[in-house]
């Protein structure tokens, strides 16, 4: 069924009796050509592009819970292409271009909103670093504008400009960045994949791999054995747990990241603002809630909930940037498990086991990557070659010395 304005009116006039489930509730077949583990944004996008773009058939997505229940439904929805390093920026620019056409491509309202992202700077050194990053972005086809304090004041007069320790000196504005409705991304890709014949199998946890002579034959699941020619793991924070079942140790730690939403307010913050002095970023959802977050809690965790010191820290940063926030009531907070890699950058690669592929290590930034990660993993699965924008995302890069460390923090995942 195609969605359109006409359809909405027709259904409104006929008692909404014509709507159908957005995707089929498929039962597992004994064999597939491609099995994708993890029904998050990445897994569903991979299945969609594999079927649609690369013309593959016999594809299943296996999800242990319900699709969209992982990080794709827990993030703060920011999409951007404002990285600096060569291994990253072409990939994120590719992703942003896919976001720009996504709703037409999927015939699904994902509420892609290019409302602009402003990264604030507070010192001369930070300004120079932002100028350099902005130039790198422009060289890779993205957009960047360096604003001075007056430029920022014209956009957001309510910020705390006169903070004695961290006065706002200006910001790097990335106009094409913005937000996307996260659940709708999962549902839109699920619907698109389903329409191209992909089986989306929920409540199906992968509990083991069948590997013989260095080649994967299929996966053991809570719904029985499923054979597959190629298997791709795309399970975000559960990556180490899953790949341990195939005998692999990953360059990765799992950490919890919290996010927060306030009560609904009238429109106050039209774009996305990030603080340069504390770790704090904020936007306003279409329902009016301020959506914000900050640092990860900083210790290994699989608990999907964090602790109070980080709540306090994030809120303190927020109030020091936007004093008016002190009057706002917090509605909810939650946590998601991040696959924090050793250099803060992801992996889309083959493993040493034939037929087993891995996508992960997205840290707290994998939502924006959803379309391109899906496309690039589908490219790899289908052609056995890396997509040109994902060639740096190798699992062996720590061995070969080709780390992609945007922040220059070294092998300390809780600092990325």
Ligand X SMILES: Cc1cc2nc3c(=O)[nH]c(=O)nc-3n(C[C@H](O)[C@H](O)[C@H](O)COP(=O)(O)OP(=O)(O)OC[C@H]3O[C@@H](n4cnc5c(N)ncnc54)[C@H](O)[C@@H]3O)c2cc1C
Contact residues: other proteins, CB under 8 A: 238, 240-241, 244, 249-254, 298-303, 307, 309, 342, 398-399, 411-414
Rounded least distance, CB 254 to other proteins, Å: 6
265/415 with CB nearer other proteins: 415
Secondary structure class of 338 (helix, strand, coil): strand
Block residue for tokens 């089986």: 199
Q: Report CA-CA distances (Å) from 404 to 12, 93, 96, 415.
A: 51, 16, 20, 14
170/365 with CB nearer ligand X: 365
**Enclosing H/E stretch for 212:** strand 206-212
Secondary structure class of 413 (helix, strand, coil): helix
**Which residue ranges make up the site for ligand X (CB under 6 A)?**
37-43, 62-65, 69-72, 74-78, 205-206, 234-236, 238, 242, 257, 259, 293, 336, 362, 364-368
Rounded least distance, CB 319 to other proteins, Å: 18
The interface partner of residue 188, options being other proteins, ligand X, none and the CB cut-off 5 to 8 Å by kind, is: none
Rounded least distance, CB 306 to other proteins, Å: 9
188/251 with CB nearer other proteins: 251
Q: How many residues does the chain have?
A: 416
- Cα separation, 248 vs 379, in Å, equals 23
169/251 with CB nearer ligand X: 251
Rounded least distance, CB 252 to other proteins, Å: 6
Which tokens hold the place of 213?
Answer: 């002579």
The interface partner of residue 195, options being other proteins, ligand X, none and the CB cut-off 5 to 8 Å by kind, is: none
Q: How many CB atoms sit inside 10 A of residue 370's CB? A: 29
Secondary structure class of 193 (helix, strand, coil): helix
C-alpha atoms less than 13 angstroms from C-alpha of 98 in its C-beta half-sphere: 23
Rounded least distance, CB 207 to other proteins, Å: 13
**Enclosing H/E stretch for 118:** strand 117-121
The interface partner of residue 294, options being ligand X, other proteins, none and the CB cut-off 5 to 8 Å by kind, is: none
Strand partners, 256: 337
The interface partner of residue 298, options being ligand X, other proteins, none and the CB cut-off 5 to 8 Å by kind, is: other proteins
Burial zone of 244 (CB within 10 Å; 0-12 exposed, 13-18 middle, 19+ buried): exposed
Measuring CA to CA, which residue among 186, 214, 171, 140 is closest to residue 38?
Answer: 186
The interface partner of residue 77, options being other proteins, ligand X, none and the CB cut-off 5 to 8 Å by kind, is: ligand X
285/414 with CB nearer other proteins: 414
Rounded least distance, CB 304 to other proteins, Å: 9
138/411 with CB nearer other proteins: 411
Rounded least distance, CB 34 to ligand X, Å: 15
51/342 with CB nearer other proteins: 342
The interface partner of residue 414, options being ligand X, other proteins, none and the CB cut-off 5 to 8 Å by kind, is: other proteins
- Cα separation, 273 vs 282, in Å, equals 5
- Cα separation, 356 vs 139, in Å, equals 35
- Nearest position to ligand X, beta carbon: 40
Secondary structure class of 409 (helix, strand, coil): coil
Block residue for tokens 């509730």: 25
Strand partners, 261: 291, 332
The interface partner of residue 302, options being other proteins, ligand X, none and the CB cut-off 5 to 8 Å by kind, is: other proteins
Rounded least distance, CB 381 to other proteins, Å: 25
301/359 with CB nearer other proteins: 301
């Amino acid at each position: 069924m195609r969605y359109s304005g006409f359809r909405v009116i027709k259904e409104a006039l006929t008692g909404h009796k014509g709507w159908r489930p957005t995707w089929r509730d498929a039962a597992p077949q004994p064999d597939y050509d491609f099995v994708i583990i993890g029904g998050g944004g990445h897994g569903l996008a991979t299945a969609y592009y594999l079927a649609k773009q690369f013309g593959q058939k016999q594809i299943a997505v296996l999800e242990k819970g319900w699709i969209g229940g992982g990080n794709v439904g827990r993030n703060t929805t920011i999409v951007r292409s404002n990285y600096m390093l060569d291994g990253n920026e072409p990939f994120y620019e590719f992703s942003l271009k896919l976001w720009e056409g996504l709703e037409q491509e999927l015939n699904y309202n994902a509420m892609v909103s290019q409302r602009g992202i402003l990264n604030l700077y507070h010192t001369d050194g930070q300004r120079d670093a932002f100028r350099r990053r902005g130039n790198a972005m422009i060289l890779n086809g993205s957009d960047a504008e360096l604003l001075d304090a007056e430029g920022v004041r014209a956009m957001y007069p309510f910020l705390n400009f006169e903070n004695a320790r961290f006065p706002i000196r200006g910001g790097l504005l990335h106009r094409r960045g913005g937000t996307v409705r996260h659940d709708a991304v999962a549902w839109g890709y699920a619907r698109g994949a389903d329409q191209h014949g992909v089986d989306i199998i929920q409540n199906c946890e992968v509990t083991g791999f069948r590997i013989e002579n260095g080649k994967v034959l299929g996966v053991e699941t809570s719904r029985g054995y499923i054979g597959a020619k190629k298997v791709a793991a795309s399970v975000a924070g559960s990556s180490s747990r899953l790949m341990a079942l195939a005998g692999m140790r990953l360059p990765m730690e799992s950490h919890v990241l919290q996010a927060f939403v306030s009560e609904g307010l009238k429109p106050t913050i039209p774009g996305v603002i990030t603080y340069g002095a504390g770790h704090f970023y904020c936007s306003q959802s279409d329902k009016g809630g301020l959506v914000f977050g900050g640092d990860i809690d900083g210790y290994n965790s699989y608990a999907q909930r964090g602790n109070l010191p980080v709540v306090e820290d994030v809120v303190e940063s927020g109030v020091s940037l936007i004093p008016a926030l002190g009057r706002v009531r917090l509605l909810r907070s939650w946590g998601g498990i991040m696959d924090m890699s050793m250099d803060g950058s992801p992996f889309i690669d083959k493993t040493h086991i034939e037929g087993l592929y891995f996508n992960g290590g997205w840290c707290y930034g994998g939502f924006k990557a959803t379309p391109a990660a899906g496309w690039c993993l589908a490219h790899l699965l289908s052609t056995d070659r890396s997509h040109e924008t994902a060639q740096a995302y190798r699992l062996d890069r720590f061995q070969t010395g080709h780390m992609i460390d945007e922040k220059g923090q070294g092998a300390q995942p809780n600092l990325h």
